[in-house]
Structures are given as C-alpha cells and as structure tokens.
Amino acid sequence: MKEEDWQILLETEEEYIKNLCTQILKFKPDLVITEEGLSDLAIHYLSKAGVSAIRRLQKTDNNRIAKACGTVIVNRPEELQESDVGTGAGLFEVKKIGDEFFAFIIDCKDPKACTVLLRRPSKDVLNEVERNLQDAMSVARNILKNLKLLPGGGATELTVSATLKQKSSSVKGVEKHANGENAWVGIDGRSGDIVDMKERKIWDSYSVKAQTFKTAIEAACMLLRIDDIVSGIKKKQAPGASAPKQPQIEMEGDADNEQMIPE
C-alpha cells in the first residue's frame, strides 16, 4: 500500500467518525454512553462540543441507565431521533471513592432503576452483605406483589403439620393446636423459645410459603412415584435361595402395641 493510499484511508476514517459525531451532536446531548469502544478521535469531537462520553459499558448496566433516564437505546447514530434522547437525569458526575472512580447519574425525575453502592473492608464480607440485600429486596418485592402475610417462626408449618396428623390419625392432643388456639405459636430463632409470633410481629410472606408447600408436595409426589417403580422391580433369585423378606413399616400410634404392617 502506498503512502498516498494510507493517507486517503485516514482521511476517510476521520470524515466518517466526524459525521457520526455530528449526527449525535445535532440533538445537543450532555452525555453519550456506548457498549462498544469509542475512538480517541470521536472522544475529541464530543469533548470539543462539551459532551461527556462513557465507553465499554456492560449491556445490563446500559439497560438500567436507560430505564433511569428514560432513554431509548439505538444501534446506529443514523437511527437516532429526538424522542430517543433521555431527559430524565438531573446530574452526571464522577467521584473518586478509595482508589477507583465511579460515575453517578443522580436526581432522575422518574427512575425505573437505581443502584445501591455497597462498601466493606473485605470481599467476603461484601459478598455476604450483597446476598443479604438481595434477600431483603426479594422479600419486599414479594410483599408488594401479594400483601398477604403469615406468622413466622415455623408457626405455619406447625399448624399444617398438626392438621395433617389430625386427618391421618386419631392421636389425642393434636386438636388443641389444630383448632386455631396455638396457630400463632412458633420458635424464636434467637432465643429458641416457643412464643407467639403475632405478639413478636414475626411474619412470613404468603407467596414464599405457598411456593414452599407447593415444592414440598411436588417432591413428595416424585418420591412416591419412585417408590412405586422400585417396589415393582423383581430380582431373579438363585436356585435354592430363600425369598427376600418384605420391608416392614411401623405406623405412628402402633409403637405401643408393637404391630408391624407389611408394605
């Protein structure tokens, strides 16, 4: 390639980048964010017009910023329209925290997304705090979706267990818990005492409990199906070998009489 050809390529590239920046600058933005790289020449044209630029942003972060600012993400500057430019952000600034720089977009009018900045002395502690925050936000989301609450501390499980035992056997003493008198009684996770969850204001989300029971029932049904399949398999016996004994199950309430019921 000749030197003249190389110069023509550079001039063509410069003209192309200048046209792209011109198409962006005609909408008079203050900040440009892109998921891909941004050449130094493009940064020069943007900064010359007083426009800040952020490059190589993750797609998930770009989507959150779009929700916070009311922006529509476009793939090509030629497709950019005035309605795509976000006007919901109030201020963009860069701050140095520790040894790293962070970009902040604050004072948004109607943000659909936000960022929580967590700081801890070690990475392990930071990961634990992040998991706890995610759990707390999930609980808040479930409550907003379904405003029903159930007593915590295992009170719901104890009530359901007592009701199931009452239906499956005639053991006395279960009815007292099943009739609702002790339906609020649960276990305090800190002290280990049996207390009234309603008085302690310990509640569980209805959505979580409903999913818990649903998963438990599905798991029980799956195990029962497996048991049916296993019990239906007959092993070949060697000549002269005695027949294997059937497994025996001790039913609740029959322990005193020592009655063994075969499968």
CATH number at residue 66: 3.50.7.10
Q: 3-state secondary structure string, the chain? A: CCHHHHHHHHHHHHHHHHHHHHHHHCCCCCEEECCCCCCHHHHHHHHHCCCEEECCCCHHHHHHHHHHHCCCCCCCHHHCCHHHCCCCCCEEEEEEECCEEEEEEECCCCCCCCCCCCCCCCHHHHHHHHHHHHHHHHHHHHHHHCCCEEECCCHHHHHHHHHHHHHHCCCCCCHHHHCCCCCCEEECCCCCCEEEHHHHCCEEEHHHHHHHHHHHHHHHHHHHHHHHHHHCCCCCCCCCCCCCCCCEECCCCCCCCCCCEEC
**Model pLDDT for residues 9-49, shown as the tens digit of each residue:** 888 888 999 999 999 999 989 999 999 888 899 999 999 99
Specify the pLDDT at position 127.
92
Q: Please report whether residue 133 resides in a domain.
A: no
Predicted TM-score (pTM) of the model is 0.52
Where in the sequence is the domain holding 68, given as residue range(s)?
3-115
CATH number at residue 224: 1.10.560.10
Q: Please report whether residue 134 resides in a domain.
A: no
Spell out, as residue ranges, where the chain has pLDDT lower than 70.
1, 167-183, 227-263
Q: What percent of the chain has pLDDT over 90?
A: 12
